[in-house]
Structure formats: C-alpha cells, structure tokens
Amino acid sequence: EQQGVMINPDRPLVIYDRMSFELDRLDCPDLEIALESTELEVTGKRGEARLGFRLTAAGEPVGQGAKTLILSGLRAYEPEALRGLVERYAGWKAAYLAGA
C-alpha cells in the first residue's frame, strides 16, 4: 500500500529467494520469532521484499534472521482486489489446516 503497488491477485507470483539466521547461542530449546522490519524495493513490475526477524528465548534476544522474496507482475494498488486475494488465501489456509 505504501509503495502504491500489489501483486496480481489473478496470477500472484511470489518466489522465495533466500533466508538466513544468526544465533548468538544454541542452548535455546523454545525459540520465539517476531517480525521486526519490512522493506519493499520496486523496479517496474518487479519487487524485492525483505523481512527482518528477531529471535528470542524466555524473553531474551538470542539472534536475528532475514527472508527475501521476489515479487513479479506488480500492478497498481487496488484495496478491493487485494482484499479478495487475502480472503482466498485465508480459505486455502483453513482448508489445509482442517486436513492436517
């Protein structure tokens, strides 16, 4: 929304590019992950999304991570079209979880 673009809801193309983690220690059986930052770089109809994560254990920071996604077929932001895509995704997710 901030960039004025969105993925094409009729043919969404999001490609996982890479992911990395840095851990300060390894003796953390119950890690928690939280989104810390988001960034989107748009070049025409393509984009690169970077998500930054914070890793904690028992409330203490123990590391960080990052994930990069490549987006293709970007188009002008349309709230109604995006809402429909989100609703379809939620339906797919619910159906998947019901079968798990």
pLDDT in tens, 3-43: 899 999 888 899 999 999 999 998 888 899 999 999 999 99
The number of residues in the chain equals 100
Burial of 58 (0-12, 13-18, 19+ CB in 10 A): exposed
Q: Which two tokens stand for residue 53?
A: 């994560």
Q: Of the candidates 51, 42, 45, which has an alpha carbon nearest to the alpha carbon of residue 16?
A: 51
65-91 pLDDT, tens per residue?
A: 999 999 999 999 999 999 999 999 999
Map out the domains of the chain with their CATH numbers: 5-99 (3.10.129.10)
Q: What was the pLDDT predicted at 7? A: 92
Burial (Cβ within 10 Å: 0-12, 13-18, ≥19) of residue 6: buried
pTM exceeds cut of 0.75: yes
